[in-house]
Structure 1
């Protein structure tokens, strides 16, 4: 009775509007239940301990629901179901606690302070729904992109760019809805965003150019991670492609970051795009050498090498006249081009040509010069005598 007297006294001190809002949370059955079972302090304490003991049981039920839903519908719905069950248990426990201690009016007062009116409550609910929907949409899209990346439908660079683009689009769309819902004028925001964009475009032109070039590389796909490419004077293997830069590991084991705008504006050679690559090896022969025989010797020497392909067949052509030799160019092809296969093929071709020329007696000439006298008689030079040397003169 003493507890009830204190409760009633507290209710008298509350504003009249709170008392008028108390009835929905305290209907007649709840009122009779309070009078019959929760009128003494001892029963209230016992009921409170019982409600506290129910919380671990509610957590166990939520875990069981999450396990069953995850097996049937997936992880996302399982997490949502678990959260809903836990929320329901907590809300029910709090309401039961307020019934036990005769303070249901406090819940109504709290709701009244939080919601204020129906229109504000509706906007709050819609805002929460938009935020949750945007979050779930981002998770769903990102998981879909991960699955596409696992099937090699898109590259790692494309998946990263897709992450950023889709996330920005979803967040921007949800933000526009929320701003419109709360009556915020979007015109001023768009004008301010346009001004900020202009300032950023002027101060960060190179960064924006690199970012746009990253999107161009995303859609054009001139190379993939792992390809052997050459950009200007940089040659190596592509290790990563981001929105702003392309990472290349050179054959000298150096890591080079090339801005994407430089990649799109410079000549690009992709040696890995085709399934074969031509390797050229030059060798010089003397001017008195039978060129047809020398070409046949070179072609036969490299025909059976394991490092090169049989088709197309090796070709040997005379390319130019050098100072001391006529240059022959041996053209062979390798499959699945890599720098190691190219170097192995060059080495094998050079060794085969040297061995074949040694067997056939064909000389690879060293650079040399021939000095010949002209037709005019010129003048004769003789050594100076000791006397002339002392005087610094000499006679013809």
Structure 2
């Protein structure tokens, strides 16, 4: 009886055990029978794949998501291997599998290397899935922003892939010294050629971990003030209140003073108003506070307050301090407008004067002559030749 043989570490392995040639001779000796058996094999493979989904669901319910995924992958690999072998038996081409086995399997150490490689790839895949899902859960709980989750995806995937590649190369006996030296040289060349880009990228990672602001926050940086629309590794996009879109490099942000006006969910708005020097300051302060209490655009806690700020040229300058919640530029404008209107109306009602700028001029000593009040100096005579 002729049987296809392959060797694993010098041990012959038959690819057609005794029942297989008999089945081929009895049932698979015509093209019609082979075609029917192929159709039946395809149906079995489809049913097996569906069974794999049910197996995954059961394992997930009993042992968790990751065990379920491992079970499904193992089942899928088994179905594919069995299907390929069955197809080779149906069409009597098992010699082709013998060629593949002889090319792939050489000795026991090679088999171990192959198995370790497959295991490392599988573990890396599962680890990437686990890390990505953990990042998704953190994003759902608002622990990380969308930008941070995207960066974390790429960093985690690249890091796991590099670690898996290093292990696989080590298993296959590849010397990593030259690879690391070459990578270091390439990194140095790229670093010299793109210093600003690398600085912006490193600053992007700093912003990722320090989290001074999020998308939607109102920030002030250098000469720009607006809402953060997007944050990438290299720059931050800000929409100003003039409807301008400004791209600020991340290294500029980390090197400059940054003000996040949305961080505390409230903002103090300061409004100055002057009163006449003859006005009772305490009464004016009380009237101003009562005027803004109860305004919808202003928070009731902390309480509004008025302080005497300084002596101005034409008035005593008071400063009203009120708070707004969930600060935006529109809410600040509304609060400022409502407060000014309310104070103006209350001062008019109480007879408190908001003075115009004015200046008093007075002479010192004997003063100076004015037309009609004294002799005018005559211009010097000019002699004619």
Q: TM-score normalised by the shorter chain: which range applies?
A: 0.7 to 0.9
Matched, 1:243 2:233: yes
Unaligned runs of 5+ in 2: 373-381
- Per-residue CA deviations over 1:260-319 (Å, capped at 9, x if unaligned) read 222222112222222432211111223333333322322222233332233333222222
Aligned partner of residue 154 in structure 1, secondary structure: coil
The 1-side partners of 2:233 and 2:267 are apart by: 30
Deviations 1:212-249 (A, max 9, x none): 22222222222233222222222222233222222322
Compared with structure 1, are the counterparts of its residues 27 and 63 closer, same or farther at alpha carbon in structure 2 (3 Å cutoff)? closer
SS at match of 1:237: strand
1:50 aligned to 2:36?
yes
Match of 1:83 in 2: 76
Pair 1:361–1:222, CA change in 2 (3 A): same
Question: RMSD between aligned alpha carbons?
Answer: 3.2
Q: Does 1:294 align with 2:284?
A: yes
- Correspondence for 2:165: 175
Is this contact kept in 1: 2:288–2:306, CA < 8 A?
yes
Deviations 1:186-230 (Å, cap 9, x if unpaired)? 111111212222222222222222222222222222223322222
Q: Does 1:284 align with 2:284?
A: no
For residue 14 of structure 2, give the secondary structure of its aligned residue in structure 1.
Answer: helix
Query: How much does 1:32 deviate?
Result: 4.6
Would you say the 8 A contact 1:210–1:261 is kept in 2? yes
Query: Counterpart of 2:259?
Result: 269
Following the alignment from structure 2 to structure 1, what is the Cα–Cα distance between the partners of residues 187 and 142?
35
Whole-angstrom distance in 2 between the partners of 1:377 and 1:334: 54
Write the deviation string for residues 138-182 of structure 1: whole angstroms up to 9, x where unpaired: 122112211221122322232122212211221111111122122
Question: 3-state SS of the aligned residue for 1:43?
Answer: coil
Verify the 8 A CA contact 1:62 1:85 in the aligned structure 2.
no
User: Is the Cα contact below 8 Å between 2:45 and 2:83 reproduced in 1?
Assistant: no
From 189, 192, 200, give the equivalent of 1:199. Answer: 189
Give TM-score scaled by structure 1 length: 0.80
User: 1:295, 1:316 within 8 Å by CA — same for their partners in 2?
Assistant: yes
**What is the Cα deviation at residue 78 of structure 1?**
7.0
2:50 is the alignment partner of 1:64: yes
Deviation, structure 1 residue 379: 4.6
**Partner of 1:233 in structure 2?**
223
8 Å CA contact 1:282–1:328 kept in 2: the answer is yes
Which residue of structure 1 lines up, in the alignment, with residue 86 of structure 2?
93
8 Å contact kept, 1:22–1:104: no
Describe the SS at the equivalent of 1:274. coil
1:355 Cα shift? Answer: 0.6
CA contact (8 A) 1:22 1:105 kept: no
Change (3 A) 1:105 1:304: closer
Match of 2:26 among 33, 37, 41: 37
Question: How far off is 1:378 after superposition?
Answer: 4.0
1:331 is aligned to 321
Change (3 A) 1:31 1:51: closer
> 1:275–1:43: structure 2 CA closer, same or farther, 3 Å change rule?
closer
Of residues 20-29 and 143-152 in structure 1, the stretch that sits farther from structure 2 once superposed is 20-29
**Pairing 1:147–2:137 present:** yes
TM-score, scaled to structure 2: 0.82
Corresponding residue for 1:389? none
Paired residues in the alignment total: 363
Which residue of structure 1 lines up, in the alignment, with residue 352 of structure 2? 362
Report the structure number with the largest CA radius of gyration: 1
Contact 1:279 1:331 in 2 (8 A): yes
Bigger drift between 122-131 and 22-31 goes to 22-31
Q: Tell me the distance in 1 between the aligned counterparts of 2:189 and 2:246.
A: 30
Is the helix fraction higher in 1 or 2? 1
Instruction: State the alpha-carbon separation in 2 of the partners of residues 338 and 216 from structure 1.
Output: 26
Q: Aligned equivalents of 1:189 and 1:83: distance in 2?
A: 35
CA distance in 2, matches of 1:251, 1:70: 53
Please give the alpha-carbon distance, in whole angstroms, between the structure 2 residues aligned to 1:30 and 1:374.
128
